[in-house]
Amino acid sequence: MPQPVDARTLGLVVAGGAVGVLARAAIVAPVIHTPAEVWVTFAVNVAGSLMLGVVVGFLGDRSASLRAFLGTGALGGFTTYSAFAVASAQLLTTPWIGLALMAASLVAGVIAALMGLFIGRRLVDAPGEVERAEDAE
Coil/strand/helix, residue 137: coil
Spell out the residues 6+ positions from residue 112 whose beta carbon is closer than 8 angstroms to its own: 46, 47, 49, 50, 53
Provide the H-helix boundaries in 29-63.
Answer: 36-59
Choose among 45, 54, 128, 115: nearest CA to 83.
45
76 annotated as belonging to a binding site for a ligand? yes
Rounded-to-integer distance, Cα 110 and Cα 102, Å:
13
Torsion angle of the four alpha carbons 105, 107, 108, 114, in this order, in degrees rounded to the nearest 10: 140
Question: How far is Cα of residue 7 from the mean position of the Cα atoms in its chain?
Answer: 23
State yes or no: 9 annotated in a binding site: no
Name the binding residues.
76, 79
Binding-site annotation, residues for Na(+): 76, 79
